Amino acid sequence: MTLVGIVATGVSQNITKAGLYYQKGEAINLEQEPIMANVTLRVTTEHFTPGVYARYAQKYLGKRATLSEYTSIELIDGRLALGIAERIAPKVESEPYVLPLPQNRTSATVQTTEEQAAATAEMIFSLRKHRLDLITGEAGENVFGGGLKAALEEIARLEKECLDMFYGSKSFSEEIFKFNVAITPDKNEYVVCRFSDKVGIVGVDDLSGKPVVVKVEHEPHKKYSELQPLGPKDKVSAEYLIVPQSKCLLVAEATLLDSFNFASPRYGKTVTALPLKKR
């Protein structure tokens, strides 16, 4: 929305919209503070750990398992807004405690890895049979209500632990990063940070990541028909400031994550013309 404001006061105008403004003396302060934009990035990390019996999954369970460990990091969201963002302390996640003796080990008898895998597969099928017996009433005639629910939940937990020994487990984490960017008239592009799908958010100078950029775009200065150029005999003139509509964009590679519009007199163009009539 274009705003045409004819202001004759000597008090500085607070210009927040694009349009035409009357400039008299110090009426418009062009030396304003830099515009502050804050960037919020959300990064997720998925880590997969293969099961200790992964290579035996096809043989004993009939479905092949992934054998390689991997980590996947993704920039899932980015937000851009006016103002200064508060810094967030990074999360520190502790590694889960791993029992020195696997829970599927129920005997002191020494077994090869394949024998342990076979025993674990048998336990999976045994747990499933017990669950079916409980559900159909073939077993556990004294197990009902809350006791039945607790028993089924425990069987499901044990089954998952055994399946994880074949098909591995995944862990997920999410981190939020915040940055502040001071936008100045002499620059239209700012590298906020870089993102690597191997390690996540890295510094601006780390070329292993691809840049996350804040860009500033300006619409061309509009021509206002109200402004009449001075003639050779005109002795009275006035200065007006044409403030363009500007746009701030947050871009990662070729993907636009977010944007907002703003207007600032620092990007304005001063025009001398015949005085307009007051409105």
Q: Tens digit of pLDDT for each residue in 232-272? A: 777 777 777 888 888 999 999 889 999 999 888 888 788 88
Of the chain, the percentage scoring pLDDT greater than 90 comes to: 47
User: What confidence tier does 50 reach under pLDDT thresholds 50, 70, 90?
Assistant: very high
- Whether this model's pTM surpasses 0.95: no
Q: Are 21 and 28 in contact (CB under 8 A)?
A: yes
Task: Give the span between the Cα atoms of 54 and 166, in whole angstroms.
Answer: 4
Task: Give the span between the Cα atoms of 55 and 124, in whole angstroms.
Answer: 17
Q: Tens digit of pLDDT for each residue in 141-185? A: 666 667 788 888 999 999 999 999 999 999 999 999 999 999 988
Q: Are 75 and 43 in contact (CB under 8 A)?
A: yes
